[in-house]
Structures are given as structure tokens and as C-alpha cells.
């Protein structure tokens, strides 16, 4: 009698397991780096090519393996880290399941060479898509080197879901950085396409933070430490200068393991709540240590989630630690949020043509003085990403608004002449955030930030299409160092940034030289604007934007005048005029309203006038 139920062959079970454990090149790097750390290595080198698609190599100087151990390591559920059920409840290593190497070998070409510290002989083992092809003695000094080539070459369905090399490289950096942060006493090196991205020497955690994120962080982090019973919290938190508008620089570790835990993250955010705005994220590197029996790490295939026996006790101790540390950051508060007075965003005159033998005046010099108006005749070659269709009411309001804009161009003296004042002659800024003015039908209220964002978005889309970005050269070019993932993202969008009017080029590892910026961008904060563009560009990947639209929206949001920036009357009038020259003045690129109109009838109802 035949049966429909059968035992799957090992090569197939390994591929199934690979679907859970090995999702992309970064998953391979994670497993190999964790194995190296568990092996007692104090020097770990990671090398990748093409974002890990064609090559991943991890070399360590740990205790290594003898020939028999090397062969067993590639068998599924073979591990040296646990032996009995009770061991699952006191795990002190990063890895323990014994699935990773078998899973990797089933979907790639693998070469592993290793020499045990108690053996005089090294061995090399090779796998090709799950099949062992070579096992023999080899020349090797100490430790282990595992080389992965052509990941997913035999699983085309998985291969096609991989992203571009820079995106995959950033995922690898997202694995590399936390492991390097949690083990500052070890040496880590990261090389991509023959370029060293990170070379972290052993030291203290504060030194490791600077090695990874740059010297800018050196004086903006505060050490924290707190012990309550068997729970200890240590690490560093950032002051308000390191707050960013995208997640990515929040690192939480439990017994040295990078973890994702919403409750504990909320403990940190709760401590910052009164200091940051919604949608802002502080910098922190925090280590929670407690007895292994008090935490279960065996709850997720990637081991990134944990469960605590008393999670609320951990929550309160972590929050208390951060709150105490924030008292120290307050000593650094002066100047944290003080931005220089915004340069004239809207009324900067176009400079006269500049010739090479002239001495530049001021901070900028015009690079395209003869460029025609970007929107001659009110025509635009782009559409916003998503916004409601213009209704007949909107069209009528736009007609009135453009009349209002024309009125605003008159001087106050002209407006006030005669027996009857023309509606819209006066303009006010409310709380350095909104522009308010009387119009014939009532009151118009304009959000200054999203208004400028709409202007810059449409101009940026046009500039990307025509390569007509209008630049102003910095008198003193700025060199800015970035964390490796920010730097990698900037290299990805650099050609389009230059189309917008930036002039930026590579200037050494993780450093860019900024020589010019778009005419509408404020000066003195070039590096900050680029960091904000990176944050916004990453955090808006979920929108249905082309890369060009996403970049245009990123630049527009971060280069626009901010809520809180005081504007002169001339700047307000020019902003309104430029807004109503756009094709879609009522909504920002993400659909937020720009203009609110309060009619006389609405005001009368509020005041119960009948």
C-alpha cells in the first residue's frame, strides 16, 4: 500500500529552513558574524561585493574547528552551544539552533576553511547548492574563513526579490553596526567592493560610536548606568542634536544580543517625550543585562525578539535610566535647537553674471544667472505624487487666490490709498508658522512650510527632468562625514541631487565635499539638510513615488522654510505669489492642505451673528 506522506530529503528541508533564516545577504552576514563572536574571535573582517549578491566573506581569529567539527557544522541542527532542553532557558550565546550554515549552503556556493586552536591541521570544505564537493587539508593559520558566492543562484524566485546593491549593502550595515556597537572590545572591519567602509578598533563604547557614526557624535552623547537588583542598564543616549526624523539609530541590546522590543523602545521614547516632537527619534545605544533565565530568546527564527519574565520591571528601570541621563543632556541644551535666522528664502535677488576673475561677494556666487523662469506661462511638466483632484470650488478659489496674490504685490501705501481699503492689503505671520490675510470673501490662512514645500517640489521635478538646477557656490566648500549607510544612500541619489542644483562629490571614505547648493536652500546647514533628505527619502519608500519624485519630495520638505522661522513681509508676499504660480497650490506632495479659507458667513456663525 502506498502512502502520500513521506519524509522530505535533507536538501529540501534545508532550503525550506533557508526561507526562514536566510532572507537576503544581510541574513548571511548576521549568522556568520554571530558565529565568529561566539567562537571567541577578537578580530572579525567582513567583505562583500555587489551588496552581497556575488560575494560574502567573513574571516575571524576565533577558536576554529577541526575537520570533524567542520563537517558537522554544516549538518542541520548541529551546534556546540546547547545540549539539553534546560539549556534553552539559559542561552548566553548569540546563536544556538544549528540551522544557519546548512541553510546557507543549500542556496549558495560555499567554501569554509578552519583550523582549531588545539589542532595542527586546517581543513577546507566546499558546498555547491547543498551538495558537498570538497573536503581536504588546507593551509590556514588560525580561526575560520567562510566565503559565500552567488547567493540564491539556484533559487531564482528568491533572487528576484533582492533589491539594488546599495539597498542590500545598507541592510548588511544594519546588521554590522549593532554587533560592532555591542562588542566594542572586539575589532571589526567592513569592506564593500574593495572600499573600507568601517574599521573599528577595540576600545570603549563611546569610541565605537564615534568610529561608526563620525566625530560629530563625540560631544553629543551622554553615558548612562543604572542597576536595580539583578537588572543592569548601561550605554549612551544622544542629546537633542542627534534627534532625527527617521528610525535607524536606536540600538537596544539584551545580554549583548541586538533585539527589537516595542515596549522597551517605548520606555526610551517616553523619557524623551517632553523634549521631542511626534515623528522624531532620539539616538541611543542601551545594554540591558539580566540573568539568562529571566529572558527567553527562542521566540523568533532570527532571534531578534525576546520575552521577559517581568517585562514591566525592565521597562521602568530602562525609562528611569534614560530620564536620569537626560538631566545631563540638559546641560548641553543651549544652542541645540537654535538655527541661524533663515536667509531670505524668497526674496534673494538673482546675482549678476559672475566671471572667474571676479572676487565673489558673500557666501554664494550664482552658477546659472541667465536661467529663465522655471514656470514661464504657468506651465509645469510634472504632477504631484498623490493629491485630490481640483474641484470646481478649488478652481474658483484659485482664481480668487491669484487675484489676492496680485493684490499682495502692491505696496502698503498703494493699498491704503483712497476712501476704500482693498481687501488683502495686509498680511500677518501667526506664531511664525501661518500666513494670514484678509480676502474679499473672508480670511485666508496659509501654512508657510507646506506652501514652500509645494513650490520647491514642482521646481525640483522640473529640474530633474530638464537638468536645470540653479546653483549657488559656497565660498567655503563644506566637507561632511556621514555614517556609512547615510553615505551609501547619498551616493545612490547623488546624480539627482546634482541635477537639483547641488554640487557634491566624494571626498574620501564616508566624506562628501559640498561645493554648491540650490538657490532656495538656506546656508550654513548643508550637512544637516542632506541628513534630513536621507531620512525623508528612506522613510517615504512606502509612498507610490518614483525615485525622482521621492527625492524631490525629500528635498522640498527639508529645504523649505520651517514652522517657527520668522519671515519678513516681503518674504511672505513673495511666498504667496510663488505658491499661486504653481499648478497645485492647495496640497503639499503628500496631500496635506496648504490653504484654509474662512468665509465671512463662517465667521458670522461663530459669533452668532444672524
pLDDT for position 368: 38
Residue 342 covered by a domain: no
Residues 177, 29 share a domain: yes
Segments of 193-314 assigned E as strands: 195-200, 221-228, 231-238, 250-254, 257-258, 284-289, 295-296, 307-308
**Does residue 341 lie in a domain region?**
no
Is residue 239 predicted with pLDDT exceeding 80?
yes
Judge if 197 and 213 occupy the same domain: no
SS3 435: strand
Segment 490-526, tens digit of pLDDT: 988 888 888 888 899 988 888 999 998 887 676 667 8
279: domain CATH number? 3.30.230.10
Strand segments (E) across 305-431: 307-308, 364-366, 427-430
Specify the pLDDT at position 260. 85
Residue ending a domain, among 159, 176, 203, is 203
Q: What is the pLDDT of residue 610?
A: 67
Please indicate, yes or no, whether residues 291 and 218 belong to a single structural domain of this protein.
Answer: yes
How many Å apart are CA 63 and CA 38, to the nearest integer?
A: 9
Q: Report the distance separating Cα 561 and Cα 581, nearest Å.
A: 18
23-32, 222-231, 374-383: least confident range: 374-383
What span, in angstroms and rounded, lies between the C-alpha atoms of 390 and 383?
12
370 occurs within a structural domain: no
56 inside domain: yes
Residue ranges making up the domain that contains 178:
10-203
Positive or negative, the CA dihedral 445, 450, 453, 459 is negative
User: Does residue 222 form part of some domain?
Assistant: yes
Are 385 and 249 contained in the same domain? no
CA dihedral (101, 103, 108, 113) in degrees, to 10, reads: 10
Confidence label for 80 from pLDDT (cuts 50, 70 and 90): low
The rounded Cα 547 to chain-centroid distance in angstroms is 15
| 183 and 310 inside one domain | no
Q: How far apart are CA 513 and CA 528, in angstroms?
A: 14
pLDDT value of residue 17: 55
Domain end (from 203, 229, 258): 203
- Report d(CA 209, CA 218) in Å as an integer: 8
| Rounded average pLDDT over 431-447 | 88
Cα-based torsion angle of the residue sequence 396, 401, 406, 408 in order, rounded to the nearest 10 degrees: 160
Residue 535 pLDDT class (50, 70, 90 cuts): confident
Question: Residue 91: what pLDDT?
Answer: 55
Of 231-240, 331-340, 394-403, 457-466, which gets the smallest average pLDDT?
331-340
User: Exposure string (b/e) for 56-73, b if CB count within 10 Å is 16 or more?
Assistant: bbbbbbbbbbbbebbbeb
**17, 103 contact by CB (below 8 A):** yes
Cell numbers for 231: 537588572
> Which CATH number goes with the domain that contains 598?
3.30.1540.20
Pairwise CA distance, residues 90 & 97, whole Å:
14
Residue 598: strand pairing partners = 443
- Same domain for 556 and 428, yes or no, is yes
Number of domains, the chain? 3
577 and 436 in one domain?
yes
Q: Which helix (H) or strand (E) holds 57?
A: strand 55-60
For residues 138 and 124, the answer to whether their CB atoms sit within 8 Å is: yes
Residue 536 has pLDDT above 90, yes or no: no
Stretch 175-182: mean pLDDT? 96
Q: What is the signed CA dihedral for 394, 398, 399, 405, rounded to 10 degrees?
A: 160
Residue 357 lies in a domain: no
Q: Using the structure block, give the residue that is written with the C-alpha cell 560592532.
A: 180
Which segment of 109-113, 220-224, 396-400 scores lowest on mean pLDDT?
A: 396-400
| pLDDT at position 190 | 96
**349 domain residue, yes or no:** no
Rounded to 5, what percent of the chain is helix, strand, coil? 35, 25, 40
Q: Which of 95-109, 200-214, 426-440, 498-512 bottoms out in mean pLDDT, i.e. has the lowest?
A: 95-109
Same domain, 390 and 470: yes
Per-residue model confidence as pLDDT tens digits over 11-68: 666 555 555 568 899 999 999 999 999 999 999 999 999 999 999 999 999 999 999 9
| Integer Cα distance of 159 and 162 in angstroms | 6
Distance CA 139, CA 161 (A): 38
Cα-Cα-Cα-Cα torsion 231, 236, 237, 242, nearest 10 degrees, comes to -160
Is 3 within the bounds of a domain? no
Residues 190 and 300 in one domain: no
DSSP 229: T
Q: Please name which of 296, 299, 306, 235 lies closest in space to residue 268, comparing C-alpha atoms.
A: 235
Question: Would you call 514 helix, strand, or coil by DSSP?
Answer: strand
pLDDT at 109: 95
Quote the pLDDT of residue 360: 33
Domain stop point among 181, 203, 225: 203
Same domain? 38 vs 106: yes
Are 388 and 319 members of one domain? no
Specify the CATH number for the domain of residue 113.
3.30.565.10
Exposed / middle / buried, residue 606 (Cβ in 10 Å: 0-12, 13-18, 19+): exposed
Element (H, E) at 45: strand 43-49
Sheet holding 221-228: strands in order across?
A: 221-228, 231-238, 284-289, 250-254, 257-258
> 558 burial class (0-12, 13-18, 19+ CB within 10 angstroms)?
buried
Q: Give 111-145 as a DSSP string.
A: EEEEE-TT-S-EEEEEEETTEEEEEEEE---SEEE
pLDDT at 391: 53
The single-letter DSSP state of residue 431 is: T
23 and 167 both lie in a single domain: yes
Amino acid at each position: 500500500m502506498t502512502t502520500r506522506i513521506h519524509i522530505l530529503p535533507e536538501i529540501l528541508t534545508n532550503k525550506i529552513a533557508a526561507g526562514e533564516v536566510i532572507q537576503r545577504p544581510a541574513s548571511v552576514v548576521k549568522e556568520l558574524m554571530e558565529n565568529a563572536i561566539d567562537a571567541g574571535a577578537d578580530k572579525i573582517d567582513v567583505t562583500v561585493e555587489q551588496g552581497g549578491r556575488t560575494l560574502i566573506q567573513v574571516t575571524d581569529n576565533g577558536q576554529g574547528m577541526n575537520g570533524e567539527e567542520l563537517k558537522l557544522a554544516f549538518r542541520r541542527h548541529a551546534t556546540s552551544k546547547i545540549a539539553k532542553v534546560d539549556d534553552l532557558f539559559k542561552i548566553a550565546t548569540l546563536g544556538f539552533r544549528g540551522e544557519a550554515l546548512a541553510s546557507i549552503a543549500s542556496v549558495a556556493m560555499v567554501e569554509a576553511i578552519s583550523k582549531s586552536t588545539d589542532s595542527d591541521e586546517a581543513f577546507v570544505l566546499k558546498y555547491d547548492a547543498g551538495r558537498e564537493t570538497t573536503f581536504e587539508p588546507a593551509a590556514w593559520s588560525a580561526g575560520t574563513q567562510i566565503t559565500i558566492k552567488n547567493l540564491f543562484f539556484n533559487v531564482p524566485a528568491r533572487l528576484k526579490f533582492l533589491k539594488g546593491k546599495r539597498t542590500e549593502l545598507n541592510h548588511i550595515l544594519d546588521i554590522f553596526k549593532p554587533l560592532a556597537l555591542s562588542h566594542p572590545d572586539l575589532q571589526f572591519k567592513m569592506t564593500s567592493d574593495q572600499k573600507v567602509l568601517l574599521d573599528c578598533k577595540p576600545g570603549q563604547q563611546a569610541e565605537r560610536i564615534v568610529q561608526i557614526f563620525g566625530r560629530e557624535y563625540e560631544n553629543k552623547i551622554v553615558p548612562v548606568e543604572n542597576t536595580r537588583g539583578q537588572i543592569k542598564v548601561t550605554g549612551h543616549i544622544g542629546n537633542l542634536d542627534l534627534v532625527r526624523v527617521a528610525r535607524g539609530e536606536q540600538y537596544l541590546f539584551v545580554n549583548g544580543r541586538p533585539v527589537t522590543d516595542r515596549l522597551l523602545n517605548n520606555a526610551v521614547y517616553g523619557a524623551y517625550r517632553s523634549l521631542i516632537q511626534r515623528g522624531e527619534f532620539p539616538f541611543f545605544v542601551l545594554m540591558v543585562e539580566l540573568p539568562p533565565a529571566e529572558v527567553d530568546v527562542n521566540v523568533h527564527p532570527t532571534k531578534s525578539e525576546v520575552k521577559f519574565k517581568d517585562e514591566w520591571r525592565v521597562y521602568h528601570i530602562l525609562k528611569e535610566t534614560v530620564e536620569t541621563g537626560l538631566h545631563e543632556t540638559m546641560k548641553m541644551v543651549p544652542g541645540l535647537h537654535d538655527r541661524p535666522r533663515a536667509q531670505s528664502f524668497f526674496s534673494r535677488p538673482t546675482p549678476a553674471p559672475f566671471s572667474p576673475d571676479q572676487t565673489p561677494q558673500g557666501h554664494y556666487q550664482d552658477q546659472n544667472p541667465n536661467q529663465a523662469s522655471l514656470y514661464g506661462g504657468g506651465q509645469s511638466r510634472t504632477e504631484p505624487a498623490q493629491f485630490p483632484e481640483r474641484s470646481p470650488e478649488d478652481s474658483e478659489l484659485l482664481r480668487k487666490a491669484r487675484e489676492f496674490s496680485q493684490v499682495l504685490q502692491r505696496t502698503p501705501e498703494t493699498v491704503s490709498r483712497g476712501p476704500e481699503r482693498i481687501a488683502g492689503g495686509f498680511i500677518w505671520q501667526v506664531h511664525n508658522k501661518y500666513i494670514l490675510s484678509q480676502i474679499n470673501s473672508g480670511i485666508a490662512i496659509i501654512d508657510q512650510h507646506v506652501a514652500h514645500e509645494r513650490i520647491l517640489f514642482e521646481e525640483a521635478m522640473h529640474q530633474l527632468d530638464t537638468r536645470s538646477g540653479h546653483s549657488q557656490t559656497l565660498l567655503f566648500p563644506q566637507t561632511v562625514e556621514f555614517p556609512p549607510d547615510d553615505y551609501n544612500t547619498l551616493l545612490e541619489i547623488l546624480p539627482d541631487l546634482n541635477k537639483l542644483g547641488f554640487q557634491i562629490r566624494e571626498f574620501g571614505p564616508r566624506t562628501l565635499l559640498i561645493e554648491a547648493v540650490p538657490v532656495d536652500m538656506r546656508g550654513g546647514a548643508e550637512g544637516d539638510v542632506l541628513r534630513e533628505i536621507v531620512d525623508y527619502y528612506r522613510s517615504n519608500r512606502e509612498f507610490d513615488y518614483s525615485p525622482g519624485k521621492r527625492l524631490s519630495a525629500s528635498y522640498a520638505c527639508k529645504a523649505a522654510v520651517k514652522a517657527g522661522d520668522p519671515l519678513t513681509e516681503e518674504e511672505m508676499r513673495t511666498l504667496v505669489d510663488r505658491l499661486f504660480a504653481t499648478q497645485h497650490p492647495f496640497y503639499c506632495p503628500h496631500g496635506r492642505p496648504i490653504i484654509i479659507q474662512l468665509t465671512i458667513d463662517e465667521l458670522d456663525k461663530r459669533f452668532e451673528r444672524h
